[in-house]
Amino acid sequence: MTAANGLIVQSSSFGPKETIDRLVAAIARAGMTVMARIDHAAAAEKAGLALRPTEVLVFGNPKVGTPLMQAVPTLAIDLPLKALVWQDDAGKTWLAWNDPAWIKDRHGGAAAMDETLAAMSAALTMMAGRATTAGED
């Protein structure tokens, strides 16, 4: 399902921690590197605030992203890729990421980027499936 502004949102069959851990494993399997794991709930707790589980992963492959940023430097604000895992107030876990086609629309870019962005989209969909669906690990 694609939400507003190019955000793709998918429900998970797992809790937040298992979902994000499965996503980390899927990212590694795909030959990408996790560059940061940001635990917003932990940061909120340190500030004396409550936040349901909410984590962001920053990940990518410089061999893929660098040529895109060379062509369109502003893409660097959206690359490396990011994924968000959170738990809603009903206890459901969700995974979201920016659709690579939206990233291209946001920044412009040559049609030559389409093949790379399509491959990125397919990889993100595959990794999301592995992270959120039983039997997809």
Q: In what order do the strands lie in the sheet with 33-39?
A: 7-11, 93-98, 81-87, 54-60, 33-39
What per-residue confidence (pLDDT) applies to 1?
46
What class has domain 4-132? alpha beta
Would the pLDDT of 47 be above 50? yes
What is the pLDDT averaged over residues 47-62?
A: 97
Q: What is the pLDDT of residues 6-39, one digit of tens each?
A: 899 999 999 999 999 999 999 999 999 999 999 9
Banded model confidence at residue 2, pLDDT cuts 50, 70, 90: very low
Question: pTM of this prediction?
Answer: 0.91
* Structure-block tokens of residue 114: 């389409």
Domains of the chain, by residue range, sit at 4-132
Give the integer Cα–Cα distance in Å for 9 and 113: 24
What does pLDDT average to over the chain?
Answer: 93
What is the pLDDT averaged over residues 112-133?
A: 93
